[in-house]
Amino acid sequence: MLPLTQTEVEKLLYTEHNLTRPATQDDVNLMKQSLNRLVEKYYKDGLDDKVFECIEIKKSVNVKNLSVVEDEESWIFSFPIKVRNEALLDTGYLILQKA
């Protein structure tokens, strides 16, 4: 994915303990659509590892394990990052700017 700016990191640290809400199916669909766009971009750029990473995240994300923070400017999705043997490695974040 892309590196975070200082503002985004501060926002994540703040929202990690505050305004988080459970995800709806619309949130899951929005995140998966965004991952589809990333897969297309990474595929065109020849970044196979990134393509695989996005596909694995897309397969594992659902309403039960996705959390959302929403404000006027963006959505911040947090989700578990897993490896093939299903062991939890870390928490991943995807920030989408609102239009």
* 79, part of any domain: yes
* 42, part of any domain: yes
* 69, part of any domain: yes
Which pTM value belongs to this model?
Answer: 0.76
Into how many domains does the chain fold? Answer: 1
* 34, part of any domain: yes
* 31, part of any domain: yes
Q: How far apart are CA 31 and CA 61, in angstroms?
A: 9
* 1, part of any domain: no
Q: Tens of pLDDT along 60-80?
A: 899 999 999 888 888 889 888
* 60, part of any domain: yes
Residue-number span of the structural domain to which 14 is assigned = 6-97
- CA max distance for the chain: 38
* 16, part of any domain: yes
If one counts every other C-beta atom within 10 angstroms of the C-beta of residue 21, the result is: 10
- Residue 6 confidence class, pLDDT cut points 50, 70, 90: low
Q: Write b or e for each residue in 46-68: b if 16 or more Cβ atoms lie within 10 A of its Cβ, otherwise e.
A: eeeebbebbeebbeebeeeebbb
Q: Tens of pLDDT along 13-36?
A: 665 556 788 899 999 999 999 999
